[in-house]
Amino acid sequence: MINRLSRRIIFLAYALTAAFALAPALALFPPCDRACAAVPPGELEKIGSLIFRNECGGKTENLTAWNEGEEFASLGIGHFLWYPKGKEYPFQESFPALFEFLKSRGAPIPAWMDGLAAFDLPWGSRKEFYGDFDSPRMVSLRKLMLDTIALQSLFIAERLENSLPMMLESAPAGSRGNIRKQFYRVSGSPMGFYVLMDYVNFKGEGTSPGERYKGQGWGLLQVLDNMRGDEAGPAALEEFARSAELVLERRVRNSPPERNEKKFLPGWKNRIKTYEPGNIESYTGSGV
């Protein structure tokens, strides 16, 4: 299993210096695989609002959360994971990379965060976390998350933009053409960039060997690989939603029983419903 430090280094590499980190992949595949995946700037605000609603219900207090049954905090509009000291789990710890991204963009970082000797979550349990919920540290953390919603949306967009070369490099040669085709089918559809950005933030790229149950992943790579259609637009979004639901159902079947992941599945399916064509009104501004 990749250790925690290695995971942070990997995540920071593609979050902050993606062009350099992905040079081998970009050499193998057409340059358009990153440039053509770029999220239009005009869509970022809408997409960020939708992700905030998906993860936090649009509520400021949910910008700092610790979900019941989980072993880590979930922060910001994307509920980026931050682990307590010494903890190791098979999920991408994304908050440290977001923190470095925010610093690099000049965000007003609370002094206590900049002064951490090691960048670990300073609350060791869910009980401790919520017992300190109204403390100056926690209030300042929520303010940072509230003040940087646009930057967090950009962080997720850059992750998506870097995901296609990563997925193509990770996938078997025989699957690469279909994965590329399906990526562009979805991204070229109304609401398509929202679907891709939300899912890659929600369940990752699917390229990490550590994010597997019984050898099977649940990220964007696996969802795209399961798709077979050709038509963009509503058909692409409908197939993506069906594929995502199947991939997450498989994850739950494969998951360790002690994690009781089946309790999360209804919420995951509700989120996937927002990818369906009938929800395009929310993407275009209604209710956001």
pLDDT tens, position by position, 120-177: 999 999 999 999 999 999 999 999 999 999 999 999 999 999 999 999 999 999 999 9
User: Model confidence at 200, in pLDDT bands (50, 70, 90)?
Assistant: very high
Instruction: Kindly tell me if the per-residue pLDDT of 5 is higher than 60.
Output: no
Instruction: Kindly tell me if the per-residue pLDDT of 2 is higher than 80.
Output: no
CB 271: neighbour CB atoms within 10 A? 17
Q: Per-residue pLDDT averaged across 35-45, rounded? A: 76
Q: Report yes or no on 139 lying in a domain.
A: yes
38-47, 100-109, 191-200, 262-271: least confidently modelled range = 38-47
Q: What is the pTM of this model?
A: 0.80
Q: Report yes or no on 136 lying in a domain.
A: yes
Instruction: Kindly tell me if the per-residue pLDDT of 41 is higher than 90.
Output: no
Mean per-residue pLDDT of the chain = 86
Query: At residue 3, what is the residue type?
Result: N
Q: Report yes or no on 288 lying in a domain.
A: no
Q: Report yes or no on 121 lying in a domain.
A: yes
**What's the domain range around 260?**
4-283
Q: Report yes or no on 214 lying in a domain.
A: yes
Closest CA to 243 of 160, 171, 186, 176: 186
Instruction: Kindly tell me if the per-residue pLDDT of 10 is higher than 50.
Output: no
For the chain, give the percent of residues with pLDDT over 90: 70
What pLDDT does 39 receive? 81
Exposure class string for 212-243: b at 16+ Cβ within 10 A, else e: bbeeebbbbbbbbbbbeeeebeeebbbbbbbb
- Please give the Cα distance from 156 to 74 (Å, whole number): 15
Instruction: Kindly tell me if the per-residue pLDDT of 29 is higher than 50.
Output: no
Instruction: Kindly tell me if the per-residue pLDDT of 283 is higher than 90.
Output: no
Q: Per-residue pLDDT averaged across 5-12, rounded? A: 47
Task: Write phi, then psi, for 121 (nearest 5 degrees).
Answer: -60, 125
For the chain, give the percent of residues with pLDDT over 70: 84
Domain count of the fold of the chain: 1
User: Model confidence at 45, in pLDDT bands (50, 70, 90)?
Assistant: confident
Cα distance from N-terminal residue to C-terminal residue, the chain: 40
Distances (CA, A) of 51 to 103, 149, 260: 22, 10, 25
